[in-house]
């Protein structure tokens, strides 16, 4: 180790670079038509809601950014953009994943499902969506798309959860309105009707 | 009373959009040619901008311009507390100093890196008591407090006075604010049990799920602002003033808001929305300003912390005969709020204290933008007082439920310094209902029962908030198609009251809900004024206006029917979207026909004449733009009398592990006493959501700042410890008393805020119970405090500490 690089300085350096990484995510998040100087985008294919989509993606671009700002799928919300809240939850190959913390490159050729892809062709709501309506699960609704996707993922892997299993399964999604109980009612109802 | 809509569940029109992701929040919009703004924020907790050199940044490709405080305030920044749009005098780490607009966010960030900002560091302070002590730093330029009509000032105590307070004694300094009623001395003289203590309650951030992103553009001289607010029409006029545009040229668009909790009710607490509006005006392009979680933490509001001293006296039968309260309120970096005053008024309302004195001094710190947060004051203090009630009950040999019933507010009671009567009050009924639903009699024997390392604790909590306003306006329109359009200016932050209050109009007109449209979401849909949607007021305030507007419309319909079909208005009745003669129901008109006839007649029938004189500016503007379009009901609501309370009661049982200090909530039942229930599912959601917030207040949430540099350490969801699924019970029992209030036409009062206070109170009481009646005199009571107490380590290493760990 560089003798001048004291432990304290080293820690400060790590913290600083961590902060820079967070900012980079934000820089790219609303990366519209123009390409920022120095950013190299590559054309990749991802399968979103059953459709193959070709999209130019920067190497450090998150899936949430691609979905929201390049594919116009704004149902996926950003509550924190740092893997804390679950508002951005989508399914990647059936697994609930924080889209703000997944690089789009890493889901190349995988199946991505967002809240926009759940309704049937004739416009019927998915059983989870219908159950959330019936139970009035959402309050402000900002966490709702993420809660819906976590519930869909949970019920695919465990179609008949106990309430406690549902609680554990949904635990990665924060709801600041505190509508947890109403969401759990929705999950349990969806399990019945699904 | 049998209602058609009131008290019935329905699907609020925005719910399908919430589960499908189709409903749009501000950040979901885009416009052709839209560019992006990023904020350069203060790197220090307190400073003064000396120089900004943006020449290099402005010369960069893709950079369109910057906005500074000098642009926003050409005559200088207002010398008052409160958030500024942008500032050269930051009093918070992370406070916005300037905004850069560029082709994308990366370019904007690169441009910011090229800006040379020279800032003078000023001394900062994190704990009000450190500032209060002689020689301590001041949070603001010009002092550590702000006195109404006088400006910034310095409030200092001697070191001895501060130390004496920290040691648990009554403060001796004169307070900035005070009130008193009853004979305090006699109250304490009559007391058989007196408890005196210092206490502290933590401040913590609102952390609404949606960051306060905003997008704005200008078209034909009009400013269109996509923003986020818990109010809708109430924001329009003050926000237009902040942007600097006449009200008639300002359109506020806000279909859904991702949480508010008190901090998005008024334009002054979300002035950052003006940044994209002003930048857009300057560079002539649509501007999107996305706000990050860290930025939301800084400017997104925080509850006031309280450091206080309290002395309570109880007579031998358990009557609360006297209370003396002295608070130091943490006003944070940008002003503050009235938490302490509300706390004292709340105690008076809930416990009917016979004599009371309240004193308060507010002191700034460079921590957060303090202001109203869900039940400001009441919800903190109930967590402190509930365990004291139990201590009194134990000492006096009175049952814990009985002591609450004895002091409970009922019809005819008054509260506060002005002896304001309640519009109605049924707290004893709520206590009885909660006790029955929870099975208090069956469970109370489990108090302090142990099982290995586990111990049970039971708690009863009560909540209160003044929950209703009046003096607002209503507009409804009966269209020639026969549909009813209910214009509602209430914001949509997730309570669904914009829809449920609209149903009061459908109720009056006996209309099927399918034939009604709620017109809301943007101010150019011509909305009536309503109160800011805070203070749990919407249900009370806006059922009054919607009901009144429908009565006005009904009167006009009867007048038209009498004019065309004979007789007088009183000869007519309505049902099934028809108006008909009571004597012969075959003689009548459909709603569509009466609306068409109204449009032919014009004048007062279509909002073109004989308007209520007192209509608010915004309502008058809306009516003028709607005039002639339909048969209209237009109403100005007179003031109501007295204090409409929202009351809650919670019964709660925990199991606390004495080895880890952690606890599980085994059972939680919470009961609302809020008049007639308008929307059961919505009410249940408020009770459940309030319960989660109450758990956060009493067990988890707090501000943490690094004392050396003033860095916030709780700027994310996890660090500020927002309750998750796993911190809250898997099921929360709810119920309601459902007795009508006479000051509201459908009998309703609000509940959103007290839904939290009863739970915070019950949880703190249950923790105290599990620990043999130990009083922490603190909120939150965290796991480390519990385990330190059990281990015999004093948790009071830093008595009354604010914005940091207490233990
Ligand atoms: S936005 Fe992805 S976890 Fe919060
Ligand atoms: S419904 Fe508002 S954050 Fe969950």
Show me where the domains of chain B are located: 306-468+642-801, 469-636
pLDDT at res. B556 = 98
| Whole-number pLDDT of residue B102 | 98
Nearest to B245 by CA among B210, B283, B219, B211: B219
pLDDT of B630: 98
Please calculate the CA angle B696-B310-B534 and round it to the nearest 5 degrees.
Answer: 45
Q: Is A98 on the interface with B (CB under 8 A)?
A: no
Cβ of B258 and A141 within 8 Å? yes
**Contact across the interface for B208 and A176, Cβ inside 8 Å:** yes
Q: Do B18 and A144 touch (CB under 8 A)?
A: yes
Give the separation between CA B547 and CA B470, rounded to whole angstroms: 13
Pocket perturbation via mutation, ligand 1, pick of A22, A86, A150 by most ligand atoms within 8 A of CB: A86
Rounded distance between C-alpha atoms, residue B52 and residue B43, angstroms = 14
The preferred substitution site among A78, A104, A150, A174 for testing ligand 1, maximizing ligand atoms within 8 Å of CB, is A78
Residue B732 sits at the chain A interface (C-beta within 8 Å): yes
**Per-residue model confidence (pLDDT) at position B417:** 95
pLDDT digits (tens, 9 = 90+) for B243-283: 999 999 999 999 999 999 999 999 999 999 999 999 999 99
Interface of B with A in 737-796 (CB under 8 A): none
pLDDT at residue A8, rounded to an integer: 37
How does DSSP classify residue B518?
Answer: E
Count other C-beta atoms under 10 Å from residue B125's C-beta: 27
Given A85, A141, A178, which is nearest B256 (Cβ)?
A141
Q: How far is A94 from chain B (nearest CA, A)?
A: 18
Q: What pLDDT score does B542 carry?
A: 98
- A15 falls in which pLDDT band (50, 70, 90)? very low
Nearest-by-CA chain A residue for B682:
A136
Residue A31 has pLDDT above 80, yes or no: no
Indicate whether residue A138 lines ligand 2 (CB < 6 A): yes
Q: Which residues contact A2 (CB under 8 A, 6 or more apart)?
A: none
For A178, the closest of B15, B693, B716 (CB atoms) is B693
Whether the CB-CB separation of B114 and B53 falls below 8 Å is answered with: no
Contact: A136, B495; criterion CB under 8 Å: no
Match domain B306-468+642-801 to its CATH number in 3.30.365.10, 3.30.460.80, 3.90.550.10, 3.30.450.40. 3.30.365.10
- Superfamily the domain A3-19+45-117 falls into: Beta-grasp domain (3.10.20.30)
From-to residues of CATH 1.10.150.120 in chain A: 127-193
Q: How many CB atoms lie within 10 A of CB B560?
A: 24
Q: How far is B686 from chain A (nearest CA, A)?
A: 8
A-B contacts at Cβ under 8 angstroms: 210
- Of B42, B19, B53, the closest CA to residue B96 belongs to B42
Q: What is the pLDDT of residues B605-643, one digit of tens each?
A: 999 999 999 999 999 999 999 999 999 999 999 999 999
Buried b (16+ CB within 10 A) or exposed e, A101-117: bbbbbebeebbbbbbbb
Residue of B93, B100, B105, B492 best to disrupt the A interface, most CBs of A under 10 A:
B105
Whole-prediction pTM: 0.95
B388 close to B162: Cβ distance less than 8 angstroms: no
Q: Which of A29, A176, A180 sits opposite B209 (nearest CB)?
A: A176
- The closest CB to that of B716, out of A39, A80, A148, belongs to A80
Interface contact A82-B716, CB threshold 8 A:
yes
Residue pair A190/A158 in contact by the 8 Å Cβ criterion: no
Interchain proximity B36–A37, CB inside 8 Å: no
**If you measure from the C-alpha of residue A177 to the centroid of ligand 2, how many angstroms do you get, rounded to a whole number?**
4
B727 touches chain A (CB under 8 A): no
Which residue has the least CA distance to atom 3 on ligand 1? A83
User: What is the reported pLDDT for B795?
Assistant: 54
Q: Please give the share of chain A, as a percent, with pLDDT higher than 90.
A: 77
- CB atoms A163 and B730 under 8 Å: yes
pLDDT at residue B356, as a whole number: 98
> What whole-number distance in Å separates Cα of residue B191 and Cα of residue B394?
15
B628 lines ligand 2 (CB under 6 A): no
Compute the nearest-CA separation of B669 from chain A (Å).
13
B729: which chain A residues are within 8 Å (Cβ-Cβ)? 181
Half-sphere exposure of B149 (CA within 13 A, CB side): 0
List every span in chain A annotated with CATH 3.10.20.30: 3-19+45-117
Q: Residue A181: which of B15, B290, B688 has the nearest Cβ?
A: B688
Sheet with B450-451, strands from edge to edge, namely B450-451, B454-466, B645-657, B663-673, B733-736
Q: Where are the alpha helices (DSSP H) in B227-371?
A: 233-243, 274-283, 293-299, 339-351
What is the nearest CA distance from B681 to chain A, expressed in angstroms?
A: 7
Q: What is the pLDDT of residue B714?
A: 92
- Contact: A181, B290; criterion CB under 8 Å: no
pLDDT digit string, tens, across residues B141-174: 999 999 888 899 999 999 999 999 999 999 999 9
* pLDDT band, residue A32 (cuts 50/70/90): very low
CATH superfamily of A127-193: [2Fe-2S]-binding domain (1.10.150.120)
Closest CA to B722 of A139, A163, A100, A179: A179
Facing residues of B143 across strands? B140
Residue A3 in this model has a pLDDT that exceeds 90: no
Chain B window 58-77: which residues touch A at a Cβ cutoff of 8 Å?
Answer: 61-62
A109 pLDDT tier (thresholds 50, 70, 90): confident
Residues of chain B with pLDDT under 70: 795-798, 806-807
DSSP B575-637: ETTEEEESS-TTSEEEHHHHHHHHHHH-GGGGTSS---TT--HHHHHHHHHHTTSSEEEEEEP
Work out the angle between the directed axes of helices A180-193 and A127-134 (0-180°, nearest 10). 130
Q: Which of residues 262-301 of B touch A (CB under 8 A)?
A: 288, 290, 292-293
Atom of ligand 1 nearest to the CA of A77: 1
C-beta B612 within 6 A of ligand 2? no
| Burial environment of residue B702 by CB neighbours within 10 A (0 to 12, 13 to 18, 19 or more) | buried
Q: Specify the fold of B469-636.
A: Aldehyde Oxidoreductase; domain 4 (3.30.365)
Q: What is the DSSP string of B96-155?
A: EEEEEEESSHHHHHHHHHT-EEEEEE----SSHHHHHBTT---SBTTBSEEETTTEEE--
Which tokens is B481 given?
Answer: 């198609």
Residue from B804, B567, B569 nearest B707 by CA: B804
Residue B668 has what DSSP assignment?
A: E
Among the partner-chain residues A84, A135, A171, the one whose CB lies closest to the CB of B718 is A84
**A173 touching chain B per CB within 8 A:** yes
Query: Chain A closest CA to B779's CA: distance in Å?
Result: 19
A1 to chain B, closest Cα gap in Å: 28
B259 CB near ligand 2 (under 6 Å): yes
pLDDT for A193 equals: 86
Q: Which residue of A has its CA nearest to B724?
A: A174
Q: Which 3-state string (H, E, C) describes B155-172?
A: CCECHHHHHHHHCCCCCC
The answer, for A16 touching chain B at a CB cutoff of 8 Å, is no
């Amino acid at each position: 180790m560089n003798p001048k690089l004291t432990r304290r300085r080293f820690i400060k350096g790590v913290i600083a670079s961590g902060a820079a990484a967070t900012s980079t995510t934000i820089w790219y998040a609303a990366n519209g038509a123009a390409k920022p100087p120095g950013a190299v985008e590559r054309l990749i294919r991802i399968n979103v809601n059953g459709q193959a989509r070709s999209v130019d993606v920067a190497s450090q671009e998150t899936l949430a950014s691609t979905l929201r700002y390049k594919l116009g799928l704004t149902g996926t919300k950003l509550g924190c953009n740092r893997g804390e809240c679950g508002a951005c939850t989508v399914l990647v190959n059936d697994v609930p994943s924080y889209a703000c913390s997944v690089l789009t490159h890493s889901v190349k050729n995988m199946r991505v499902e967002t809240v926009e892809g759940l309704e049937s062709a004739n416009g019927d709501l998915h059983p989870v969506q219908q159950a959330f309506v019936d139970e009035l699960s959402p309050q402000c609704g900002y966490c709702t798309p993420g809660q819906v996707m976590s519930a869909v993922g949970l019920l695919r892997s465990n179609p008949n959860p106990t309430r406690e299993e549902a609680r554990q399964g949904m635990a990665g999604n924060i709801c600041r309105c505190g509508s947890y109980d109403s969401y759990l009612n929705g999950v349990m109802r969806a399990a019945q009707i699904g | 009373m049998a209602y058609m809509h009131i008290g019935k569940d329905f699907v609020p029109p925005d719910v399908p959009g919430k589960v499908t992701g189709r409903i749009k929040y501000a950040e979901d919009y885009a416009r052709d040619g839209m560019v992006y703004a990023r904020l350069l924020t203060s790197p220090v907790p307190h400073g003064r901008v000396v120089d900004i050199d943006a020449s290099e940044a402005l010369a960069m490709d893709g950079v369109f311009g910057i906005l500074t405080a000098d642009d926003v305030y050409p005559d200088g920044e207002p010398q008052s507390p409160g958030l500024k749009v942008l500032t050269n005098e930051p009093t918070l780490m992370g406070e916005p100093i300037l905004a850069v607009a560029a082709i994308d966010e990366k370019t904007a960030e690169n441009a910011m890196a090229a800006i040379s900002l020279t800032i003078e560091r000023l001394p900062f302070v994190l704990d009000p008591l450190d500032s209060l002590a002689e020689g301590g730093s001041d949070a603001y330029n010009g002092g550590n407090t702000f006195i109404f009509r006088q400006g910034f000032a310095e409030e200092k105590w001697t070191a001895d006075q501060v130390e004496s307070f920290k040691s648990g004694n009554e403060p001796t300094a004169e307070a900035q604010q005070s009130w008193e009623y009853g004979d305090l001395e006699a109250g304490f003289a009559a007391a058989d049990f007196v408890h005196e203590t210092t206490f502290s309650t933590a401040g913590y951030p609102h952390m609404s799920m949606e960051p306060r992103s905003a997008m704005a553009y200008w078209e034909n001289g009009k400013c269109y602002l996509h923003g986020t607010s818990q109010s809708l029409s109430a924001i329009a006029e003050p926000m237009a003033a902040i942007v600097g545009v006449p009200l008639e040229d300002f359109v506020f668009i806000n279909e859904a808001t991702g949480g508010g909790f008190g901090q998005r009710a008024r334009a002054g607490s979300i002035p950052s929305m003006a940044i994209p509006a002003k930048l857009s005006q300057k560079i002539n392009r649509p501007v999107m300003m996305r706000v990050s979680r860290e930025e939301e933490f800084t400017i997104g509001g925080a509850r006031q912390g309280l450091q206080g001293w309290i002395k309570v006296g109880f007579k031998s039968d358990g009557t609360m005969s006297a209370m003396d309260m002295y608070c130091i309120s943490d006003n944070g970096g940008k002003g503050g709020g009235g938490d302490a005053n509300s706390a004292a008024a709340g105690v008076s309302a809930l416990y009917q204290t016979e004599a009371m004195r309240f004193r308060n001094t507010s002191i700034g710190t460079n921590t957060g933008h303090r202001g109203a947060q869900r039940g400001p004051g009441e919800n903190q203090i109930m967590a402190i007082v509930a365990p004291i009630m139990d201590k009194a009950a134990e000492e006096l040999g009175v049952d814990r439920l009985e002591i609450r019933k004895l002091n409970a507010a009922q019809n005819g009671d008054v509260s506060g310094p002005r002896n304001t009567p309640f519009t109605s009050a049924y707290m004893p009924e709520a206590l009885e209902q909660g006790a029955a639903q929870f099975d208090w009699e069956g469970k109370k024997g489990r108090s302090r029962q142990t099982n290995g390392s586990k111990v049970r604790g039971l708690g009863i909590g009560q909540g209160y908030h003044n929950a209703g306003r009046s003096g607002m306006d209503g507009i409804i329109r009966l269209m020639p198609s026969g549909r009813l359009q209910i214009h509602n200016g209430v914001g949509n932050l997730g309570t669904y009251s914009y829809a449920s209050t609209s149903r009061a109009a459908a109720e009056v007109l006996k209309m099927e809900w399918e034939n009604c449209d709620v017109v809301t979401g943007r101010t150019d849909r011509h909305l009536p004024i309503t109160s800011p949607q805070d203070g749990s007021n919407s249900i009370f305030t806006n059922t009054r206006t919607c009901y009144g507007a429908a009565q006005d419309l009904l009167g006009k319909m009867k007048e038209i029917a009498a004019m065309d079909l004979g007789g007088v208005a009183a000869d007519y009745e309505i049902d099934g979207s028809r108006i008909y003669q009571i004597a012969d129901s075959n003689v009548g008109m459909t709603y569509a026909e009466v609306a068409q006839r109204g449009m032919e007649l014009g004048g007062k029938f279509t909002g073109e004449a004989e308007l209520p004189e007192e209509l608010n500016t915004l309502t008058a503007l809306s009516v003028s733009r709607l005039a002639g379009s339909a048969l209209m009901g237009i109403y100005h609501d007179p003031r109501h009398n007295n204090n409409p309370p929202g009351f809650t009661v919670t019964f709660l049982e925990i199991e606390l592990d004495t080895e880890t200090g952690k606890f599980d909530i085994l059972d939680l039942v919470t009961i609302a006493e809020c008049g007639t229930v308008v929307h059961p599912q919505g009410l249940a959601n408020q009770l459940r959501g309030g319960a989660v917030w109450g758990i956060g207040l009493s067990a988890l949430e707090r501000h943490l700042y690094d004392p050396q540099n003033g860095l916030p350490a709780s700027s994310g969801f996890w660090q500020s410890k927002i309750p998750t699924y796993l911190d809250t019970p898997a099921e929360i029992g709810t119920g309601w008393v459902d007795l009508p209030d006479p000051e509201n036409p459908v009998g309703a009062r609000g509940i959103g805020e007290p839904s939290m206070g009863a739970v915070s109170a019950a949880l703190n009481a249950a923790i105290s119970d599990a620990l043999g009646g130990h009083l922490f005199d603190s909120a939150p009571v965290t796991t480390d405090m519990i385990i330190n107490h059990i281990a015999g380590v004093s948790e009071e290493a830093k008595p009354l500490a604010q914005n940091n760990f207490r233990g």
